[in-house]
Amino acid sequence: MLLKPTSRIWTLVLASCIFLGTIYLWSEGNLSQSGLFPSPQSTPGAGNATLGFGAIYVLTEDVSTWRVQSLLQAAKLAGLRIEVPVQEKPSDEAVRAQVGGEPEEGYGHARALLNHLALLDKIAQSPHETALIMEDDVDFGLQIRSQMELVSKAFWDHANLAPESRGSAEEVLHPYREHEWDIFWPGHFGMSFIEGSDVFKYHDPHALPWDRLTTQFNNYYEQMAAGSSKQAEPQQLIFNVAPLATFAYAITKAHAARLVQKFRQDKTHKFDNAVHIDCVGRVHRCVAPVPQLFHHHQVVGEKASSSEGKQDESVAVQDLKWYRTRHRYTYNIEWSARCNAAGVGEKLGEKWQCLPGKYDPMM
């Protein structure tokens, strides 16, 4: 059947749209691989590419390091979309202005605090109601999207709403019920119970059993392992808790602004300690899963000068090559995304498991 002129025009228009759309999706896919040019957010919900948050940001001063380059590879493998807004290194003058003199904890901790505040200030001015902040040496499991969906379900199950008050649309749009907390802390070193702590149990088949967990903060994991010898103890989502270390934490847009103002007024020296103390005092409403879903990725040995690499290689390439030659590991994560992205450790089936090493919390 012959097409009328008008039909031919619409056919050409439709074909052009499909072609241009294909080119757009192809280019967006390639740009988003770096993690520096995120594509538009996918469908909402805790299992999406931003884990249900408005955005995932990485805290760093240098994208050329193995920390960031390895993290980008791990994020790609796990299907995460992350943004890396590089922080300018704060000057010594800015540090002294923040802490009101010489920093008691050293310039490194004070600079890290200023970087946290700068990123929180960015979040407070962003269009996102929530954001997840990851430090540049963080690691997570290959199943992190599925794990965060289970945490989301735990938030809603904990609310114990009547069936008619619980809708799938609301759970997708607000997967972590952000009106119930100020800081949600999925990546930490350990935690302290405080007055009013509320433990809600949930099941995560991807989590390590308690007897394979490690922390030097307190003996809570050991207590749980001793109590679960006869029957596997489920994972926990703890409300009113005080975690330590900011491997990964989520914050609401409104509380990001309040936190920046408070820490600047308080002349705070060290970010994670200050947040921990405030959580103990219930200045913030803090929630954390136990065990943690994000942890510090560690590399054994110090990196020598970058001049030892080939002269025609970028610093990023040299740094990543050095990283691949080192012994690296992540505690409390069954299938490290970083180790699987690099193809290192002990291969079990189609996946890689990081070999354990001596834990150094200061590394």
Note whether residue 282 is domain-resident: yes
Q: What are 325's two structure tokens? A: 């030659």
- pLDDT at residue 145 in the model: 98
Burial class for 169, CB neighbours closer than 10 Å (0-12, 13-18, 19+): exposed
Residue 105 contacts by C-beta under 8 Å, 6 or more apart in sequence?
Answer: 269, 270, 273
Half-sphere exposure of 220 (CA within 13 A, CB side): 16
Q: How far apart are CA 281 and CA 241, in angstroms?
A: 10
First to last CA, the chain: 73
57 pLDDT more than 90: yes
**Has residue 274 got a pLDDT over 60?**
yes
User: By C-alpha distance, which of 202, 154, 153, 212 is closest to 334?
Assistant: 212
Q: What is the pLDDT of residues 70-117, one digit of tens each?
A: 999 999 999 999 999 988 888 888 888 888 888 777 788 888 889 999
More confident residue, 136 or 166: 136
pLDDT > 70 in the chain, percent: 78
pLDDT at 148 over 90: yes
Pairwise CA distance, residues 206 & 214, whole Å:
16
Q: Is residue 3 part of a domain?
A: no
Q: Per-residue confidence at 19, pLDDT binned at 50, 70, 90?
A: very low
Q: Which residues contact 90 (CB under 8 A, 6 or more apart)?
A: 110, 111, 114, 115
Measured CA to CA, the distance from residue 133 to residue 186 in angstroms comes to: 10
Q: What is the pLDDT of residues 198-244, one digit of tens each?
A: 999 999 999 998 888 888 777 888 888 877 655 667 999 999 999 99
pLDDT at position 21 over 60? no
For the stretch 293-318, pLDDT in tens is: 999 998 876 554 333 344 445 766 77
The neighbour count for residue 23, using CB atoms within 10 Å, is 10
pLDDT tier at 42, thresholds 50, 70, 90? low
**What residues contact residue 115 under an 8 Å CB cut-off, 6+ apart?**
59, 61, 87, 90
* Residue type, position 68, single letter: V
| Position 157 in a domain | yes
Residue whose token pair is 């019920």: 177
In a domain, 310, yes or no: yes
pLDDT at 356 exceeding the cut of 60: yes
Q: What is the pLDDT of residue 46?
A: 96
- Residue 276's pLDDT is 95
pLDDT digits (tens, 9 = 90+) for 116-126: 999 999 999 99
d(CA 174, CA 130): 10
Query: Omega before 291 cis (within 30°)?
Result: yes
Q: What is the pLDDT of residue 305?
A: 38
Q: Which domain holds residue 49?
A: 34-363
Q: Count of CB atoms within 10 A of residue 219's CB?
A: 12
User: Percentage of residues in the chain with pLDDT exceeding 90?
Assistant: 51
User: Is residue 158 scored above 80 in pLDDT?
Assistant: yes
Structural domain count of the chain:
1
Is residue 278 in a domain?
yes
* pLDDT of res. 313: 59
- pLDDT score, position 225: 80
**pLDDT band per the 50, 70, 90 thresholds, residue 325:** low
The one-letter amino acid at 212:
R
Distance of CA 96 to the CA centre of its chain: 29
332, 188 in Cβ contact below 8 A? Answer: no
Work out the average pLDDT over 236-265.
95
Give the whole-angstrom CA distance, residue 114 versus residue 105.
13
Task: List % helix, strand, coil for the chain (3-state, nearest 5).
Answer: 40, 20, 40
Predicted TM-score (pTM) of the model is 0.81
Handedness of CA 269, 273, 278, 281 (dihedral sign): negative
Residue 18 is assigned to a structural domain of this protein: no
Beta-strand runs (E) in 228-278: 235-244, 248-252
The reported pLDDT for the residue numbered 35 is 40
* Whole-number average pLDDT of the chain: 81
Q: Can you give the pLDDT at residue 311?
A: 43
Where does the pLDDT of residue 39 fall: very low under 50, low under 70, confident under 90, or very high at 90 and above? very low
| Pick from 22-31, 174-183, 217-226, 234-243: least confident | 22-31
The backbone torsions φ and ψ at residue 122, rounded to the nearest 5 degrees and listed phi first, read: -65, -40
Please give the average per-residue pLDDT across 350-361, as a whole number. Answer: 68
Q: 306: Cβ–Cβ under 8 A, 6 or more apart, which residues?
A: 315, 318, 319
- Say if strands 346-348 and 351-353 run parallel, antiparallel, or are unpaired: antiparallel
CA dihedral 175, 202, 132, 118 (to 10 degrees): 120
256 found inside a domain? yes
Among the residue ranges 31-45, 71-85, 306-320, 321-335, the one predicted with the least confidence is 31-45
Where is pLDDT greater, at 345 or 26? 345
Find the mean pLDDT for residues 337-356. 88
In whole angstroms, what is the distance from residue 251 CA to residue 256 CA? 6
Residue 9 lies in a domain: no
pLDDT for the residue numbered 66: 86
